[in-house]
Amino acid sequence: MNNLNHTSMEENKDSGEKAPQNKDFEEKIEEAEKNAAGECGENCECHHEGTNALKEQLDECKKQSEEYLNGWKRARADYLNYRNEEADRLTVLLNACREDVIADILPVLDNFNLVLKEIPEDKLKDAHIDGIAKVKTQLESVLKSYGVEEVEAEGQKFDPNMHEVVAEVEAEGKEPGTVVEVTQKGYTVNGRLLRPAKVKVTK
């Protein structure tokens, strides 16, 4: 009986000593699990540190996205400017090529004008001569479709921008500087002077 009581007392003694230790250990495990799971309160220092870190990452992402967007806008604007500049250069090049071709054709038209000018009026009704005149008219029509216009000269006041003086002559009843004769016709292309008219003007 004494042995039994002694044993029971020892067990109670052991139990009383171990209980506080188990409780402390369980509290430490619970606290570690909360920290690992991020379940600490809003006032916890680790909570504020995590929030600040996320905010910094979000701000950095926004900053990078704005930089990428602005870079794309600049690249697009540069491309559009380049495309417009290339289109303008191409237009200038095509116009220059067209003007060069027209300039090469004008001497042919000059020859038609010279030939028909030297033909006597009574011969102009000849079938062959009439054919030449029609070819000349057709050529003038083609040039006109490309924007070619004859420079007005005879009877006009001398214009240094459109006329080139080859001689000065006396002419009664005419004001000085009046064009009295055109020795070579001048032409414009779409409003641009291609060749000035060579003229004789009064003194």
Domain of 167, CATH number, reads: 2.30.22.10
- Residue 48, pLDDT score: 61
Is 2 part of a structural domain of the chain? no
Which domain does 159 fall in, by range? 148-203
- Residue 13, pLDDT score: 44
Strand duo 187-189 + 179-184: pairing? unpaired
- Residue 101, pLDDT score: 94
Is 135 part of a structural domain of the chain? yes
Considering 122, 146, 170, which residue would you say is the last residue of a domain? Answer: 146
CA dist., res. 79 & res. 189, Å (int): 32
Beta strands in the chain (DSSP E): 148-150, 163-169, 179-184, 187-189, 192-195, 197-202
- Which residue's entry shows tokens 């000593």? 17
- Residue 102, pLDDT score: 95
Is 67 part of a structural domain of the chain? yes
Helix (H/G/I), strand (E/B), else coil: 198: strand
> Residue 196 gets which letter from DSSP?
P
Q: Which parts of the chain have pLDDT scores under 50?
A: 1-22, 25, 36-39
pTM of the model: 0.60
- φ, ψ (nearest 5 deg) of residue 172: -70, 140
- Residue 27, pLDDT score: 58
Is 30 part of a structural domain of the chain? no
